[in-house]
Structure 1
Amino acid sequence: MHRLFPALIALAIALAVLLSSVFIVRERDLALVFALGEVKESISKPGLYFKLPPPFQNVVFLDKRLQTIENKEPERIQTAEKKNLLIDYYVKWRISDPRQYYVTFGASDRGAVERLQAQIRDALNAAVNVRTVKDVVASERDEIMREVLNAVAARARPFGVEVVDVRLTRIGFVPEISESVYRRMEAERKQEANRLRATGMAESERIRAQADRTREEMLAEAYAKSQAIRGEGDAEAAGVYASAYGKNPEFYRFYRSLEAYRNAFSSENDILVISPDSEFFNFWSQTKDSR
């Protein structure tokens, strides 16, 4: 029994040494192997690895996942018009070089977050200070985000940090300029509305004039066609009358006289002052004589 005790102690020591010499790198981790305080190896692939037992070598793990920074309070940034804006943002970043990252910030990400926030403030100031409120809020917002991303990514790269994305989530006005900005926006919208209204009125007048011109052209064309048809009808009627007159001139004269009598005495109140011997009563007298 006394002989087994030292053997068990030796086995326990050997097992402890073996366990301290084995480490696992997970999918979400980066590993730095240190030997007497100096980085000997950087491991980014997951798996089972071996090292010398402490104090000869030890391992520090870093998170390689994509991380997010959101500002707790809006950044107060001044525009080219000397007006302050309140800007909220978020940043997506991750560790690209674990050795350089550890040398710069250590194992904690607090230093990296503070450094990135300071760089974002500087980049936002540089991008917003040269633009107007309208540019920042509306027309050049995407360009500002690209400028900030490029600037922060270039400054963070030497520290072993990759900045993946920068987004401006909200842009607001400080209370002292909100009213003036709203009034100016209202005036711009009214000006645009008046411009559109004037354009619409001009277009309506153009359409109305075109419709009137088309109407006049159609009426003139229809009148010309009606006159042509009436002329053709009159010519055909004249031809018929002429043909009838040629066949029996005496009957034609009689028929025309009857029409004249009908038109002359169509009303009881019609009065004609004319000689009874007039040619107008030629057939009238003949009719009476025949009776």
Structure 2
Amino acid sequence: MTNRLFIIGAVVLAALYVLFSSVYVVNEREQAIVTRFGQITDVRTDPGLYFKIPTDFVDQVQIIEDRLLRQDLTNLRVQVSGGAFYEVDAFLTYRITNPRLFRERAQGSLAVVDDRIATRFAAVLRQVYGLREFNAALSEQRPEMMREARDLIRPDVEQIGIEIIDVRILRTELAAEVFERTYERMRAERLAEAALLRARGDEQAQSLRAIAERQASEIVAAATRDADIIRGQGDAERNRIFAQAYGQDAEFFEFYRSMEAYRTALGNTGTTMVLSPESAFFRYFGSDGQLPAASPTFNPPITPQPAPNIGTGSDEPALDGLGIEETIAPTMTLEDGSELSPTIGTEAPAPAEETAPAATPAPAPATAQ
């Protein structure tokens, strides 16, 4: 009885073993490859319950991922067209689309696939970056670079039953040894641009100062010219009046001049003078206080005459004596197209109007005492 129970138990266990070893399940996230003595006999890509020859000595089942897989690449050193170096972080996603090729050419091992993808992925990124300039990876060309890298790597991995779904570049930074050099170059460029702007500003400032100094010289020269003309006219009028007054009564004029000389020389100045009483200076001191006899005849009164104009009387510019022939105010056009001209109120005054000189009457002859 006991032996029969052992036999029945052994048969049940053997039946269960045969049953479970001949059944395998493929879910929606997996694929299955069935091999018989190392040769592929069946590939299951649809989820479900499948059967095979019992035991694993004859038929073996290898479960393969049917999900998206990811391959990361970090701190990859790439060189761009200009010679600078970047450090790049990127990743790609892929799926096993042909389990038969995956088993035959990659031994069905994800480690082998990862090594081949990593090597080819790095080479593709170096090729993509090497065709572009320094700022391309930091500009709108970045999506184009990712699509180009995906298209370049696809033909190589399709040979092992892999399909590249997408390629993404996560980080693009300058290498540590290049960063400082690049910063110094950019700093030098900014300093050169600033120096150029300062030089242009100094040039415009010097031009403005030159215009202002020229305008000031013209204004001062014109004012000095008019002042000299007016002063000369005043001196001429004064001399004319003195000359006519002297012609009215020469004796009285001489007496008046002597009194003025006494007032100036003998005022309250504390000055001591030692002179001979017979000197011409004391001519009127010896008259015992008597004034000279008045002239019985007088010349007609002095008729006011217009002041003669002693202007140059020419049409030459006001500053021709300074060697400046230009009469138009200087201007300067700046870089932005605006025109710099003298401000209102700085124009040189017009020359004084000239009048025809009036004939000066000859002084009347002095009446003899």
Shorter-chain TM-score range? 0.5 to 0.7
**Which residue is equivalent to 2:282?**
none
Structure 1 partner of 2:86: 85
User: Is residue 2:170 matched to residue 1:169?
Assistant: yes
Corresponding letter in the other structure for 1:148: A
Distance 2:179 2:5 in 1: 85
Q: CA deviation at 1:107?
A: 3.5
Q: Which residue of 1 aligns with 2:123?
A: 122
In 1, Cα distance between equivalents of 2:79 and 2:179: 14
Q: CA deviation at 1:130?
A: 1.8
Which residue of structure 1 lines up, in the alignment, with residue 45 of structure 2? 44
What is the RMSD computed on CA atoms of the aligned residues?
2.5
Residue 64 (structure 1) shift = 1.1
Match among 67, 70, 92 for residue 68 of structure 1 = 70
Q: Which amino acid letter does the alignment assign opposite residue 77 of structure 2?
A: R
1:11 has 2:15 as partner = no
User: How far apart in 2 are the matches of 1:182 and 1:144?
Assistant: 25
Aligned to 1:131, the other structure's residue is in SS state: coil
Verify the 8 A CA contact 1:76 1:86 in the aligned structure 2. Answer: yes
Could you say what secondary structure the match of 2:94 adopts? strand
Larger Rg: 2
What is the SS of the residue equivalent to 1:125? Answer: helix
CA distance in 2, matches of 1:182, 1:62: 50
1:152 is matched with 153
Contact 1:61 1:107 in 2 (8 A): no
Task: Extract unaligned runs of 5+ from structure 1.
Answer: 195-200, 206-291
Within-5 A mapping of 1:19-30: 19-30=20-31
Aligned to 2:326: none
Distance 1:107 1:131 in 2: 37
Residue in 2 that maps onto 1:59: 61
Do residues 105 (structure 1) and 82 (structure 2) align? no
Distance in 2, Cα, partners of 1:109 & 1:81: 37
Q: Name the residue aligned to 1:132.
A: 133
| Aligned equivalents of 1:12, 1:177: Cα separation in 2 | 70
Q: C-alpha separation between the residues in 2 aligned to 1:65 and 1:5?
A: 46
Amino acid corresponding to residue 181 of structure 1 in structure 2: T
Give the CA deviation at 1:139: 3.9
Q: CA deviation at 1:3?
A: 3.2
Show the counterpart of 1:35. Answer: 36
Deviation at 1:184, TM superposition (A): 5.5
* CA 1:167–1:184: 2 relative to 1, 3 Å: farther
Q: C-alpha distance in 2, partners of 1:29/1:22? A: 16
Q: 1:225 — aligned with what?
A: none
When you count helix as a share of all residues, which structure comes out higher? Answer: 1
Question: Any unmatched runs of 5+ in structure 2?
Answer: 198-334, 339-369
Deviations 1:239-287 (A, max 9, x none): xxxxxxxxxxxxxxxxxxxxxxxxxxxxxxxxxxxxxxxxxxxxxxxxx
Q: Secondary structure in 2 aligned to 1:159?
A: coil
Distance in structure 2 (CA, Å) of the matches to 1:184 and 1:138:
20
Aligned partner of residue 159 in structure 2, secondary structure: helix
Give the aligned partner of residue 211 of structure 1: none
TM-score (norm 1): 0.62
Tell me the amino acid that sits aligned with residue 132 of structure 2: R
% identical aligned pairs: 28
Distance verdict in 2 for CA 1:146–1:185, change over 3 Å: farther
1:207-264 deviations in Å (ceiling 9; x for gaps): xxxxxxxxxxxxxxxxxxxxxxxxxxxxxxxxxxxxxxxxxxxxxxxxxxxxxxxxxx
Q: Does 2:108 match 1:95?
A: no
What is the CA-CA distance between 1:185 and the residue it aligns to? 5.5
How far residue 77 of structure 1 moved from its aligned partner, in angstroms, is 0.6
Instruction: Label 1:185 to 1:153 Cα distance change in 2 as closer, same or farther (>3 A).
Output: farther
AA partner of residue 166 (structure 1): V
Aligned length: 196
The structural deviation recorded for 1:6 is: 2.0
With structure 2 as the length reference, what TM-score do the two structures score? Answer: 0.49
Structure 1 segment 192-271 matched on structure 2, within 5 A = none
Mapped partners of 1:24, 1:41: distance in 2? 14
Shift of 1:136: 2.3
Structure 1: distance between partners of 2:116 and 2:45: 24
Q: Distance in 1 between matches of 2:142 and 2:23?
A: 51
Q: Which residue identity is paired with 2:72?
A: E
Aligned residues of 1:66 and 1:94 also touching (Cα < 8 A)? yes
